[in-house]
Amino acid sequence: MNLIVAILSGAVVYAVSVLYAGIGETFTERSGVMNLGVEGIMLMGAMSGCVTAFHTRNLALAMLIVILTGAVLGLIFAFLTVTLQSDQTVCGMAMLILGTGLSGFLGEDIASKPINLKFTKIPLPVLSEIPIIGDILFNQNLLVYIMYLLLPLATFYIYKTRWGLKLRALGENPAVLDAAGENVFAMRYGYIVFGTTMMAISGAFVSLAQTNVWQEGMTAGKGWIAFALVAFSSWNPATLALGALLFGFISNLGSNLQIYLPGVPTEIFSAMPYVATIVVLIISTGNFRKKHTAEPAALAKAYDRESR
Amino acid sequence: MKKLLSLLLVGVMVLSLVACGTKDKDDTSKGKGTKDVSELVIGELHYSVVEDGGWAQAMHEGIVKACKTLGIDTEKQLLTRENISEEDIALVESTVEELVDNGADIIFGCSAGYATILAEIQPDYPDVIFAQQGNDVYDNIVEFQIRGYEGEFLAGYLCALLNQGSNELGFCASMDEASVRTALNGFALGAKYANPEAKVQVIWADSWYDLDIESTNAETLINKGIKYMGMEASSPAIPQKCEEKGAYCIGYNIDMEANAPKAVLTSFVWNWAPIFEDIMKKTAEGTMKNSANYYEGGECAQLADFNDELVSEDIQERVNELKDKVAKGEVVIYGGELKDDKGNVLVAAGQTMSDEDILAQEFFVENVVGGK
């Protein structure tokens, strides 16, 4: 039983570490903009959080700086892709390279140094007493609890509110919104900045909650996993959470199977999460299931009033 | 405006060419073996940044320490080149050329991957000493390696001593490769020396760097009831997980105590400085042979200071005693009889494994559980 609790609570932590970025990317892509720079922005978030925490010993301030870092990067990306209408794939790659390099450069002084200030686990009163579930879900850190609130809110926002309707229209056909008198550019700016802010928080989760250190390139591909999960989830935050949990569950399981199933090459377990992703991707987006995909029709297309 | 700008650019380029030209002339005065050691110019090649909290950092610190001992000004005479990919032959070559242009007398290749390239281009720079981390493979470059198993042997011994009432120890390994096996086998042999019944359960990340997998693996071992573990990994994720769960571990590459003061007993650290010092001195004297090979233990393969809160003085003393015995040759780590994890005899009683076989590490010793 302890084993199951350990695997599942590990899966929750893993899921949350990619969910912030995943939700950010979902909103960005729903607005018709593809941001490939997730990994770079996560690294900037991870670095800025650690640097601030290291120098000020103030976690709240660190998170504020993380959010600002994300927002500034978002503004740059939005300026390039919305105002200047540059190619989103190229700009995304530029953000990726910029974030990876700049975070390494700015974080050099505190690389590998102990921060000793992190989001520790806070068992929630009453809820954490529930057998099994309490240990899995309610003995986590603050950022995990915030995600519990954020996830239903994000889903509700997209599917049940007027703003969500506009957001979906923005990704499908921005011209219609423009004709209806909505400010397409301002909305895209807003969602891009929201997205990059969330990505930066994901990075800070890795460096200030999961571990407590800054090292160059420490997110080690999580940004890409978040990016892939968005397509995998059909741009739906609830499905996104399931995907992230599945991924976290399988990679935690693999570690345990090494011990409990000796004799099987460990590379098979290490490859499992990726194999599972491919299988689920085929099932969820394969041609045989439905002709219509949930991909926003205007995704990765710059909106230009003059060329409608 | 544009014309003016391009004229200006051309001007700058011409000037920079002239500047390079004059520098080259200065360098011709440099001969082999006529220098005071404090005048040496040192180049170093790293595949990552030097503050990586691991391998590169230990190398860089070793070079800096050696420079300081010998009075070499690290600000001006130590040329550090980071992020030089071992796969990018052209980049390595051009970096070497640039270092030589800047007067480098020795170029240190701080990762095994540079060996082939450096050995190939060495004949083009006969006045420069190329020193490369690796096993004794090439005759025209200096190669150096540390007997890491000596430090890990002490680490395993320490863990087994502390692991009262249990025979099970853990080890978090990265990839299945000779240097990782060296650490794992050394740890297991040390554990066995303290407790003949000790078993070391290894768990693989199958990745050189993945914080998630590393901390998950540590947690898996802890959930299995293991309290003491060794590791071969580059991040403090494992020590931090141990601290969170009330387990203990040995840090790796650099002293990790500050990263998890309630979990790190001590750390295995690379101390390259003595080797580098020797290379620098001999280069200055002109007696450094290109074919030289260093394979050093002792002070090079050390444990960092013990964590006094977690390791009692009595235990510290016992580990230090063993260290002396290893140094004096009273305890031979790869001495027979030694069996592998499948029961085959690796070294017959009374014999010692050859350095070649120790370097190749094509085995897991008998008390390793979960070897590949």
Domain boundaries, chain A: 2-121+136-303
Fold of B148-269+334-369: Rossmann fold (3.40.50)
pLDDT score, position B35: 81
Distance from CA of A35 to the nearest CA of B (A): 24
pLDDT score, position B1: 55
**Residue B370: its chain A contacts at CB < 8 A?**
258-259, 262
Tokens 């768990």 belong to residue:
B203
Residues A156-165 have a mean pLDDT of 96
In chain B, residues 178-217 whose CB comes closer than 8 Å to chain A: 201, 203-207, 209-213, 215-217
Q: Please, which residues bridge with residue A59 across strands?
A: none
**Residue B50: its chain A contacts at CB < 8 A?**
none
Q: Where along chain B do its domains lie?
A: 36-146+273-299, 148-269+334-369
Q: Does A211 touch chain B (CB under 8 A)?
A: yes
The per-residue pLDDT for range A115-137, each reduced to its tens digit, is 989 999 999 999 999 988 998 99
CB-based contact B212 A251, cutoff 8 Å: yes
The mean pLDDT value of chain A amounts to 92
Distance from CA of B258 to the nearest CA of A (A): 6
Distance from CA of A67 to the nearest CA of B (A): 23
Distance between first and last Cα of chain B: 68
Q: Which two tokens stand for residue B29?
A: 């005065």
pLDDT score, position B308: 96
Distance from CA of A281 to the nearest CA of B (A): 23
CB-based contact B52 A111, cutoff 8 Å: yes
DSSP state of A17: H
Residue A141's Cα: distance from chain center in Å? 17
CB-based contact B209 A213, cutoff 8 Å: no
Asked if A197 and A67 touch (Cβ cutoff 8 Å), the reply is yes
Q: Does A259 touch chain B (CB under 8 A)?
A: yes
Look up the CATH architecture of domain B36-146+273-299.
3-Layer(aba) Sandwich (3.40)
pLDDT score, position A290: 58
Phi, psi dihedral angles at A10 (to 5 degrees)? -65, -40
CB-based contact B223 A6, cutoff 8 Å: yes
Quote the CA–CA distance of A70 and A35 in Å, as a whole number.
13
Q: Does A275 touch chain B (CB under 8 A)?
A: no
Q: Does B80 touch chain A (CB under 8 A)?
A: no
Among all residues of chain B, which has the CA nearest to that of A248? B212
pLDDT score, position A288: 60
- Choose, out of B57, B169, B216, the residue to mutate when testing the contact with A (most A CBs < 10 Å): B216
Q: Which of A189, A273, A295, A232 is nearest to A19 (CA)?
A: A232
Contacts of A111 (CB under 8 A, 6+ apart): A214, A215, A216, B49, B51, B52, B53
pLDDT score, position B31: 46
Quote the CA–CA distance of B134 and B121 in Å, as a whole number.
17
**Residue B52: its chain A contacts at CB < 8 A?**
111-112, 215-216
The one-digit pLDDT tens for each residue of chain B (372 residues) are 556 656 665 565 555 554 444 444 344 334 455 689 999 999 999 998 888 778 898 999 999 999 999 999 999 999 999 999 999 999 999 999 999 999 999 999 999 999 999 999 999 999 999 999 998 889 999 999 999 999 999 999 999 999 999 999 999 999 999 999 999 999 999 999 999 999 999 999 998 888 889 999 999 999 999 999 999 998 889 999 999 999 999 999 989 999 999 999 999 999 999 999 999 999 999 999 999 999 999 999 989 999 999 999 999 999 999 999 999 999 999 998 999 999 999 999 999 999 999 999 999 999 999 998
- Identify the band that residue A274 occupies on the pLDDT scale cut at 50, 70 and 90: confident
- Choose, out of B46, B48, B50, B51, the residue to mutate when testing the contact with A (most A CBs < 10 Å): B51
The per-residue pLDDT for range B115-146, each reduced to its tens digit, is 999 999 999 999 999 999 998 889 999 999 99
The CATH class for the domain spanning A2-121+136-303 reads mainly alpha
**Residue A211: its chain B contacts at CB < 8 A?**
211, 215, 235-237, 240
pLDDT score, position A270: 87
CB-based contact A213 B240, cutoff 8 Å: yes
Q: Which of B355, B186, B137, B151 is nearest to B271 (CA)?
A: B151
pLDDT score, position B115: 93
The per-residue pLDDT for range A203-262, each reduced to its tens digit, is 999 999 999 999 989 998 899 999 999 988 889 999 999 999 998 999 889 888 998 888
C-alpha separations of B277 from B34, B270, B271 in Å: 17, 15, 11
Do B36-146+273-299 and B148-269+334-369 fold alike per CATH?
yes
User: Which of A14, A111, A266 comes nearest B53 by C-beta?
Assistant: A111
- Choose, out of A108, A121, A259, A274, the residue to mutate when testing the contact with B (most B CBs < 10 Å): A259
- Identify the band that residue A3 occupies on the pLDDT scale cut at 50, 70 and 90: confident
pLDDT score, position A220: 84
CB-based contact A104 B216, cutoff 8 Å: no
Specify the long-range contacts of residues A298-302, CB closer than 8 Å, at least 24 apart: A298/A32, A298/A170, A298/A171, A298/A172, A298/A173, A298/A174, A299/A29, A299/A32, A299/A33, A299/A34, A299/A171, A300/A32, A300/A33, A300/A34, A300/A88, A300/A89, A301/A32, A302/A81, A302/A82, A302/A85, A302/A86, A302/A87, A302/A88
Q: Does B44 touch chain A (CB under 8 A)?
A: no
